[in-house]
Amino acid sequence: MPEGPSLVILKELISCYSGKTIIAARGNARIDMDRLPGRKIVAIRTWGKHLLISLKDVTIRIHFLMFGSYSIGEQTKPGKSLRLHLGFKKGNLFFYTCAVKLIEEDIDELYDWEADVMSDNWSAAKARKKLKKMPGTMVCDALLDQQVFSGVGNIIKNEVLYRIRLHPETLLGNVPSRKLTELINEARNYSFDFLKWKKEYTLRKHWLAHTKKTCKRCDLPFLKKYCGKTKRRTFFCTNCQKMYP
């Protein structure tokens, strides 16, 4: 599943289509394709894992789910996986195996931009207030809560918890105030490191916990476990990542 930083990269790649008019739309997404041709793209934005292509009175929301992908210029995957093709006078955008929806509402009212870890409007204070209302939630689940940390995915979760030496199954209500500040700050910090490394094609080289077998700090085996309510793969060291009782 693409995480927030990957969506920012996609937004940058297709920013040249902002201001361009859609001349053709097709695909097997369950939307009214006839509404799109002849309309100009007025903005391309992201919120967490959502790509938002705004037209004058409707926004195309694309969520890549677990296995979604895209191509620019040429179609690269079989037709059955093509959810949406947007054709322009010069250029094409293709989106595969993803969820596509047309949003009628004002997205500035619909989305909490202060929850997006990649946004200039990100609010650490607001994230803290939300976390304080979730004392019985494991930190591994809290980091994946898109209403708190929009854009954070499983890779970021694992790396953040390893960076701050926090056991993924610690309940938020037991996390000391200073450690909670670390959690909030590193969720954003690591997201921008992710962005930098992804652009350099070196992201995997920088993983310290995700998919790893041995802790570099302790030289002990990592535990792989499907933690919390989300049951996502979690890699952590039971020696240096502290569980707060």
Predicted confidence at residue 141, as pLDDT, reads 98
Predicted confidence at residue 116, as pLDDT, reads 97
Q: What is the pTM (predicted TM-score) of this model?
A: 0.91
Q: How far apart, in whole angstroms, are the C-alpha atoms of residue 20 and residue 14? A: 11
Predicted confidence at residue 78, as pLDDT, reads 79
Location of each CATH 3.20.190.10 domain in the chain = 4-110
Predicted confidence at residue 111, as pLDDT, reads 95
Predicted confidence at residue 177, as pLDDT, reads 97
CB 147 within 8 A of CB 48: no
pLDDT at 79 over 90: no
Q: Which two tokens stand for residue 222?
A: 């990592």
pLDDT digits (tens, 9 = 90+) for 142-182: 999 999 999 999 999 999 999 999 999 999 999 999 999 99
| Third-level CATH fold of 113-236 | Helicase, Ruva Protein; domain 3 (1.10.8)
Question: Which residues are registered as beta bridge partners of 91?
Answer: 88
Q: How far apart, in whole angstroms, are the C-alpha atoms of residue 169 and residue 234? A: 10
Considering the chain, what is the average pLDDT of its residues? 96
Q: Which two tokens stand for residue 31?
A: 């939307």
| Third-level CATH fold of 4-110 | N-terminal domain of MutM-like DNA repair proteins (3.20.190)
CB 150 within 8 A of CB 116: yes
Location of each CATH 1.10.8.50 domain in the chain = 113-236
